[in-house]
Amino acid sequence: MKVLAIARNTFRENIRDKILYNLILFALLMILSSLVLGQLTLGYEEKVIVDLGLSSISIFGTLIAIFIGIGLVYKELERRTIYALLAKPVHRWEFILGKYLGLLITLLANVVIMTAGLELTLAANGGISLENSLRLIPAVYLIFLSLAVTTAVALLFSSFSTPALSALFTFFLWVIGHFNADLLKFAQLTKAATAEFVAGVLYYVLPNISNFSVADSRSVIQSAAYFEPIRAAAVAWATCYAFLYSAILLAIATAIFLHRDFK
Amino acid sequence: MAIIEMENLTKDFQVGFWKKHPVRALDHLTLGVESGEVFGFLGPNGAGKTTTLKILMGLIRPTEGWAHVLGEPVTSVSMRRRIGYLPENPYFYDYLTAEELLRYVGALFGMRQPALGNRVRSLLEELGLGDARKLQLRRFSKGMIQRIGLAQAMINDPEVIFLDEPMSGLDPLGRREVRQAILGLKNRGATVFFSSHILPDVEALCDRVAILNRGRLRQAGALHDILKVKIEAHEIVLAGISEEVTAGLRPLCDEVTPMGERLQLRAGRPQQVEEIISFALAHGASLVSVNPIRPSLEDYFFHEVAGAGRE
């Protein structure tokens, strides 16, 4: 109940900060792509539109997750709104979880509206079958999960660091997160026990964003562009991973927060 | 029964970038506040008032000592259902309207509609913000922010309310409104603990006060005990006085201040007053006024803080 009140207020803040204006940019991109790309890519319009649309959903979402995520806690501290809030009967974990869920609601709204825009663009370009249009949904869902993890990373940094550093760290981890599995493979190739151990630790500690962008050794966006199904097991695994990894990060953020003096 | 208890409360802040060293903001503060009283917490800037209030709100942890509010440790979340807090120079979510802020805060107390809506409306009316309820807080004046701050601290009808500098930066009208709100809380039976530098307000409102300087408690007690009705001196104003008479009066009093055609004299002992008056009247002067001088809280504060505190 209190978590939801905090989440609702965070969502309201995002809306009033006009974050959803990025949708206008997305709409322009979709309109342009359907006008221009169709003529450049004979017979592959749909593929290109899906590719561009899903990539945009991921990029716009990631930017929001990082840049709003790093301010979630920091803004409350900087503007001193947190003093009155934490003097209310609110546990620190409720505050952290509420802020997190608030941004997830914003991201969800963003992703849903963009997906609808993508489907509309496809429909306007000659249309696709219902089956094919539904095949985009798992890809979009996986993108949303990657945003959920990115938000948790940004929030964790924002619980103890400045926005500039938090943005840098989060972006850095997001990039590494795409090559995490390669890191492990590379270490195995070196056949050095220490390297393997270090890589193993990093593999589990760093966010594994490739869990959401790659399913069955194929890029999720590419699979979606060819309207190929994504295995349910891969989606289920990614869901568990996102849930567990975010929960651990939020728990760490709460622990940091519990020991913090609000001077 | 003490509603707010502090025992040996001490807080050291670590300062410095490389070589951190502790700076003591609060030094073994022991204080109790009784149920139903209005308690004034005084001290110059940097005395440790805000630090104390933040410890009581669980926002910072004491280095040493402990504090209880309503019989529970200050870290207790359930205890906060029964208290209210207005931070110093408060700032609230400026994208919300007054009504939205109060509804949000009410939701944090688990309040639900329609009770919440009624409470929000009546509070806004009570604090004179009824017309501004649909206005975003970014458009609020400083006085209005202070009043919405009071409203958010009062939403749960608290048993104890903590106000950090509730009158700072307010115009006389705003101060009077805050004063009335505090009296309203007292009449409702709430305990009010507030910090302030605005001493006349403290004098008008408080049952008891504590004076803090450099983190140490200088004095605590009932206002009338601290300012014992002790007449320090008398001030006599005379008119129609010649130079010679003035010269004749000088040895009789402690201080002579010419004020245009009048003369103001200060007499420390009661018999001096009689001597001065009979001398003046015998030499053709007229008596304008005789007033006893009592120390105000302000005098007392200056004595404690400026005199003893900055040694």
Whole-number pLDDT of residue B310: 46
Tell me which DSSP letter residue B97 carries. Answer: B
Cα Rg of chain A (Å, integer)? 20
Residues B148 and B179 in one domain: yes
Contact between residue A101 and residue A7 where contact means Cβ atoms under 8 Å apart: yes
Residues B96 and B130 in one domain: yes
Whole-number pLDDT of residue A41: 67
From residue B237, how far is each of B233, B245, B254 by CA, in Å?
A: 13, 14, 14
Q: Residue B282: which domain range?
A: 233-293
- Residue B48 inside a domain? The answer is yes
- Residue A263 inside a domain? The answer is no
Q: What angle do CA A129, A132, A133 make, to 5 degrees?
A: 85
Contact between residue A119 and residue A71 where contact means Cβ atoms under 8 Å apart: no
- Residue B305 inside a domain? The answer is no
Say how many CB pairs under 8 Å bridge A and B: 79
Query: pLDDT 10s digit of each residue in chain A, 263 long?
Result: 899 999 999 999 999 988 888 888 888 887 787 777 767 766 677 888 888 889 999 999 999 999 999 988 899 988 889 999 999 999 999 999 999 999 999 999 999 999 999 898 888 877 788 888 888 899 999 999 999 999 999 999 998 888 899 999 999 999 888 888 788 888 888 878 888 888 888 888 888 888 888 877 778 888 887 788 888 888 899 999 999 999 999 999 999 988 888 87
Whole-number pLDDT of residue B309: 46
Domain count, chain A: 1
Whole-number pLDDT of residue A38: 65
- Residue B309 inside a domain? The answer is no
CA distance B308 to chain A (A): 28
Residue B101 forms contact with A (CB below 8 Å): no
Residues B203 and B74 in one domain: yes
* Strand residues in B97-254 grouped as ranges (E): 160-164, 191-196, 208-213, 216-222, 233-239
- Residue A174 inside a domain? The answer is yes
Residues B158 and B86 in one domain: yes
Residues B51 and B152 in one domain: yes
- Residue B197 inside a domain? The answer is yes
Query: How many Cα atoms sit within 13 Å of A164 on the Cβ side?
Result: 0
Residues B25 and B156 in one domain: yes
What average pLDDT score do residues B131-141 get?
Answer: 92
Residues 140..179 of B with a Cβ closer than 8 Å to A: which?
A: 149, 152-153, 162
- Average pLDDT of chain B, as a whole number: 87
Residue B14 forms contact with A (CB below 8 Å): no
> Domain of B254: which CATH number?
3.30.70.980
Within chain A, what is the greatest distance between any pair of CA atoms? Answer: 62
What average pLDDT score do residues B180-205 get?
Answer: 88
* pLDDT of B285 higher than 70: yes
Q: Residue A119: which domain range?
A: 2-258
CA distance A261 to chain B (A): 4
- Residue B75 inside a domain? The answer is yes
Whole-number pLDDT of residue A9: 95
* pLDDT of B231 higher than 80: no
Report the Cα B235 to chain-centroid distance in Å.
28
What is the predicted ipTM?
A: 0.87
Residues B15 and B140 in one domain: yes
Domain count, chain B: 2
